[in-house]
Each structure stands twice: as C-alpha cells, then as structure tokens.
Amino acid sequence: MHCTVAVNTLVVFEIFYLFNSRYIKDSIFNWAGLTGNCYVLIAIAVLIFLQLGFTYLGPMQSLFGTTDISFDIWMHIILVASSVLFLVEIEKYFVRRAKVIK
C-alpha cells in the first residue's frame, strides 16, 4: 500500500505543479488560471483516469503491485500534494512584490 500511496502522491503533486506552471509570476487563483487551457484540463482528466486504473484495476494491480486505497487516504494525498500549489503561490507573491519595490 505504501508504494501505491507514494506513486499517487507524486502524480497529484505534479498535477498541482502543472497548474502553477501556467503562469511563472502571476497567480493562478483566477478563472483563467484554473481553466485557461482546455488541453491541459483534458490531459489531467486522462491522467486521473489512468491513475485510478493503476490503483484499482486488478490487472494493473498484479502488474505494478498496487493496492486499493481508501477515500481518507486520497484526502491525505490531496492535502499533502496541494502544499506545492500554496508554496509556489507564496513564492510568486514575493517575486512580484520584490519587482514592485525595485
């Protein structure tokens, strides 16, 4: 189970980081930041679908040695992985602020 949680956590980290990468200095906490590129949203939906298959489909579990994880574990994964979103947004804030001060 630990490997399944670790892999899913890394994938969710990357999803949150992908949202941050859309704008290098500007915040993504606006409508365009969250929905600005439909291809990214489609790619994320496909990735989530594949990741759920990796986690829950029997043949994939046999192939990769994954196990089912519960809803509360998913909530912990999302909570931990979302930290990158907030940390990068804080960094962007200070970069923007330092640029205004100069």
Three-state SS letters, 34-82: HHCCHHHHHHHHHHHHHHHHHHHCHHHHHHHCCCCCCHHHHHHHHHHHC
Asked whether 1 and 67 are in contact (CB, 8 A), the reply is yes
The predicted structure's pLDDT at residue 28? 79
pLDDT digit string (tens) for 46-86?
999 999 999 999 999 999 999 999 999 999 999 999 999 99
Identify the DSSP state of 30.
S
Asked whether 89 and 23 are in contact (CB, 8 A), the reply is no
- pTM to 2 decimal places: 0.82
pLDDT digit string (tens) for 75-94?
999 999 999 999 999 988 89
DSSP SS3 for 23: coil
Instruction: State the distance between the two ends of the chain, measured CA to CA, in whole angstroms.
Output: 50
Identify the DSSP state of 22.
T
